[in-house]
A and B are shown apart, each in its own frame.
Chain A
């Protein structure tokens, strides 16, 4: 029965995504290749003082990305520290330095890790001027970087990979804003709240009183899912009835998280002039997604341990209005798209189900991954796959006519090295430095032992992959975790961007090798399988021993 429901929901989702794949993908391709600027954009270019016709080299594109993001971090940090001076602060005090640091980085890096309860920490001004703005621009930065890489692959002997400011503004104005407005209206119709009301005191079923704020939830919810941000208005995120009111809204939210990442392969295919390439990338992403969501659902439906047997199902931490299948669908989507929103508590999933949430992130957020980040992530892995496979067919490996030489493989390797190193080093330092370990054991971990280890591992996995979801049993609002996770998010976002843009530049500078019968085709099922295998093997090899200490040790006891 549950499996039938699962199949029906997946089918609906697949149908919706299939319907928008071509129109949205083609539209985005037009947005990023059109020579015309709209009037609003021209005004913005004048305000910022950039020339939209200026074609940037990869290094100057990178400098623009970094400068823009640095300003973002400083602004969000300042807004939080000055919260009491701002309107609509709901009389909430300024968060601590380390929390503000963590939150600022978290939103600028499209992670939306929240070490705090948003509704009792941040006022509406910080939420809207700081966080909501970053929800838009951080998503636009992700897409811009992906487009820059695609341009590099598509161009011939060019010195330029586009103009960051044009890509940024067009992404916000032509894609994210219009989609968010439509989406917000649909969400309001579905029961998500949208107001500026303060706290409302209500009497709960058990007779206690609870103070629940209203707020501009629907507008933030729209970009939270569309931009694969994930930072909720409420602490319990989409599990809150104001944020995730019911079943069909959940499916809609899942659709929103997937819609841009799954349409970007089309954009990629369009810009490189071969739609089959887009379908191949899409097929690899979709296969991994399907395997993953099936695995997590199977783990949760099977349950585990005496508690779930007594309860009849593994419902701990899940909302009864969603049930198991909608929780795993949302949970998988959120962790595999780098969104990090939740409508159930992953910490309470069965060990193997929670392990799958971690595995989804450890795959490198490529199936389909975050907006933009998923596409550039899978393209980098495709480069590695092409390199090994290309050697196996007896040619200097090439991808879309671009040779994969020493420089390209160096950059791709560095990209692949970054995230596992951050995850493993962050987790190891947390347990390896005696004072830190004392702090973690004393303050942060509420479930000592293997599960507590999983919580910390989950936190660093989430931060390094810019996901933002959490095993909520961990108290992360401590100086160590706020700082360490902040640094992890920062490096986990911008080091890969450096490598991707450098790759874009080195591809752009190359001529194109014509395809012959001796060229490895990258649009056939064979290559899809190869890509899938490379994604799985690269992450499995990096994380298997660590997973054995956490979810596997717990799940196989």
Chain B
């Protein structure tokens, strides 16, 4: 199990993506690599799970037996038509090739996952864990005074408390109960920058196999060995945990039914032909059957499913079941958290609005001074904006910083000269000014009206005031802090609307602010002042109306909503509870990825539907190839149906079979890549796909079979 670093790099999906390498590419070398697996899958015990291809395999075996018996008995004729001696052999060979091609599609799809699994396995190496017996969170939270014993990580059980120090591998999945540490999670996410994990809050989850880089933590184990996150990931990417999804099952039933109809058609043909004309030989009947049953989609169906999961993995999303991927395609309502998804995490200053006769530069300078020592992103953004406007005033060395407190709801600076500057919520600052020396009602009214105007626009007003040494105070103006909506979101939401998906923004903001941001971002609806309970309630209401809901979440209080949603994407930075409740985990912790997930889900279904249509439409041309050939001996008039002008009955039948096999290989890249998908309404997507795969499915085999026939006629006897 040695893997060179270079291979590992290429194999790791995350790294491939971070390095900007194209993913989803397909090369003929992959086909060769999949060949041994394809031959192994010929085992009937494996084959019978794919009923369509199992029928082909039985046909291949039957034709082979007949071909062997013809060595003794001489070539048989079919419906009064002599066939070349090599006919049965050629049919048998191509039927085996058809089955192998089908298995090849699956092998290639699985092969990609195997490489990923191998790199993941590296992280699963057993390590020794320091288990704390009798952990007492009250008396000794850091477990420094309690004895530890070494236990192999594979022996850990649920609820064990372990300590991990800098440089050690985290022995299993769990939550930090004490401490803070920087952790290297590149083994899973591919992201080389370490992340901070700490006890309490929403960043307490750690994953087994990742490495603590600094500090020391105490953690509680939350999953049994063998059922950890990495174990699940390995099973998923290998396809071992793959179960057929509901739509795939339904499609399988339809394909099996079509196969049964054609089996009936073929089985009843000879008794009827025996009276009306002359009976057809078994290899010809098998050829007819194999051409008619939907082998193309039957061969590619499982590869499409595996590739769909794989596309998610390439985007660093782990779906816990194929069912979830399919549900993503069905989603009709998307719940998006405002902060981090729709807006950047922090508000930014965008404007300084003066009050009364205060000159602009005085307000900007004061706001900047009041924020120079403000560590919050909002404070920094005020400084940035002021400096953009050319303010570079130095700070008085003896100035005292007044930090923000919940009581004062203000922060600012006290200069050595006795000048005080404050910034904060309008009501608090106005009260401060009034207490200092009074404020004219007109100034107060103007300040309030500016502040309210900003609030109504969805911004946050920050009033700036100054008190002079003599005790007189006045309001200088208002800083407009604004949520910055991420770029390009409005277009993405418009795309979603075209796809029939409603977006709902979830925010803790007041309804004014929420409405303004919702308008700017272009979401369809919003839920303001939302608590986790509101969110859960909203999901239930949507679902009762028949909608399928997708959401992202990271906190423990998101867990019930994540579990209730049809598609719940947990952020990898989130808590174990959130990851456990959701049915997908985003390793990059990027909530906007929800939109990509929906697209991948849709693409998966579209690929299946389109290739099914293609497969069934192919039958038309195959009938026109085989039927006239089959009865050419008894009903020469049927030659009128030979619109492709195929050379001879034998070459017509063989060409159809060869086309049937070759088309599978041609479509493997499409099955793995997925049918092109762009956001549009259902009608226009259907029109396009019907044109390409329906009409194309009727026309392509006419050309293909004719071309193959031109080659086949070069074989002597055909």
| Per-residue B-contact encoding for A411-449, CB less than 8 Å = 1, 0 else | 001101100110011011101100001000100000001
Q: Whole-angstrom distance between the alpha carbons of A548 and B288 in the complex?
A: 14
Q: Is the CB of B269 within 8 A of A514?
A: no
Does residue B272 face the partner (Cβ distance < 8 Å to A)? yes
Q: Which B residues touch A397, using CB under 8 A?
A: 247
B500→A517 contact, CB < 8 A:
yes
**Which residues from 239 to 265 on chain B have a C-beta closer than 8 Å to any C-beta of chain A?**
246-247, 249-251, 253-254, 256-258, 260-262, 264-265
The answer, among B274, B329, B620, for a CB contact under 8 Å with A537, is B620
Q: Contacts A392-B610, A393-B682; is A421 near B275 (CB within 8 Å)?
A: no
Asked if A48 is at the interface of the complex by the 8 Å CB criterion, the answer is no
Contact of A158 with B by CB under 8 A: no
B627 to chain A: which residues have CB within 8 Å? 544-545, 548
Which residues of chain B (663-684) have a CB below 8 Å from chain A? 677, 681-683
User: Is B246 in contact with A406, judged by CB distance below 8 angstroms?
Assistant: yes
Question: B330 to A396, Cβ gap below 8 A?
Answer: yes
Contact yes or no, A395 B682, CB < 8 A = yes
B272 touches A546 (CB 8 A): yes
How close is B625's CB to chain A, nearest CB, in angstroms? 12
B631 within 8 A of A: yes
CB contacts (< 8 Å) of B603 on chain A: these are 394
Contacts of B340 in A (CB 8 A): none
Cα distance A246–B258 in the bound complex, in angstroms: 46
Query: Does A233 reach chain B (CB closer than 8 Å)?
Result: no
Assembled-state Cα–Cα distance A541/B292 (Å): 8
Q: Does B402 contact A (CB under 8 A)?
A: no
Partner of B272, one of A404, A431, A520: A431
- Contacting pair A384 B254 (CB below 8 A): yes
User: Which single residue of chain B is at the shortest CB-CB distance from A517?
Assistant: B500
The reply on A66 being an interface residue by CB < 8 A is: no
Chain A contact surface mostly: helix
Q: Is the CB of B606 within 8 A of A417?
A: no
> How many angstroms from the CA of A395 to the CA of B686 in the assembled complex?
11
Of the candidates B272, B276, B288, B619, the one having the most CB atoms from chain A within 10 angstroms of its own CB is: B276
Tell me the A502-539 residues at the B interface (CB within 8 Å): 511-514, 516-521, 524, 526, 530, 533, 537
Using CB atoms, name the residue of chain A closest to B631. A548
Q: Which residue of A lies closest to B613 (CB)?
A: A388
Check if B623 sits within 8 Å of A544, measured CB to CB: yes
Q: Which residue of B lies closest to A552 (CB)?
A: B638
Assess A545 versus B269: contact at CB under 8 Å? Given A417-B260, A431-B274.
yes
Q: Which residues of A contact B271 (CB under 8 A)?
A: 427-429, 431-432
Query: B310-352 vs A: 1/0 string, CB under 8 Å?
Result: 0000000000000000100110100000000000000000000
Instruction: Note all chain A residues with C-beta closer than 8 A to B309.
Output: none
User: Of B265, B620, B682, which one neighbours A420 at CB under 8 angstroms?
Assistant: B265
Q: Is A409 an interface residue (CB 8 A)?
A: yes
Interface size counted on chain B using CB atoms at 8 A? 76
- Name which residue of chain A comes closest to B273, CB basis: A549
Query: A391, B612: Cβ atoms under 8 Å?
Result: yes
Contacts of B502 in A (CB 8 A): 516
CA distance A424 to B261 in the complex (A): 10
A553 at the interface (CB under 8 A from B): yes
A392 touches B690 (CB 8 A): yes
Interface positions of B from 250 to 302, Cβ below 8 Å from A? 250-251, 253-254, 256-258, 260-262, 264-265, 267-269, 271-277, 288, 292
A394 touches B601 (CB 8 A): yes
Seed contacts A391-B610, A396-B326, A431-B274; 4 additional CB < 8 Å A-B pairs: A388-B616, A391-B609, A406-B246, A417-B257
10 pairs, A vs B, C-beta closer than 8 Å: A391-B608, A393-B682, A394-B685, A450-B276, A511-B546, A518-B501, A521-B683, A540-B620, A541-B262, A546-B268
Which residues of chain A have a CB within 8 Å of any CB of chain B? 384, 387-397, 401, 404-406, 408-410, 413-414, 416-417, 420-421, 424-425, 427-429, 431-432, 437, 441, 449-450, 452-453, 457, 511-514, 516-521, 524, 526, 530, 533, 537, 540-542, 544-546, 548-550, 552-553, 555-557
Chain B contact residues, CB within 8 Å of chain A: 246-247, 249-251, 253-254, 256-258, 260-262, 264-265, 267-269, 271-277, 288, 292, 326, 329-330, 332, 497-502, 545-547, 601-603, 605-606, 608-610, 612-613, 616-617, 619-620, 623, 627-628, 630-631, 634-635, 637-638, 640-641, 677, 681-683, 685-687, 689-690, 693-694
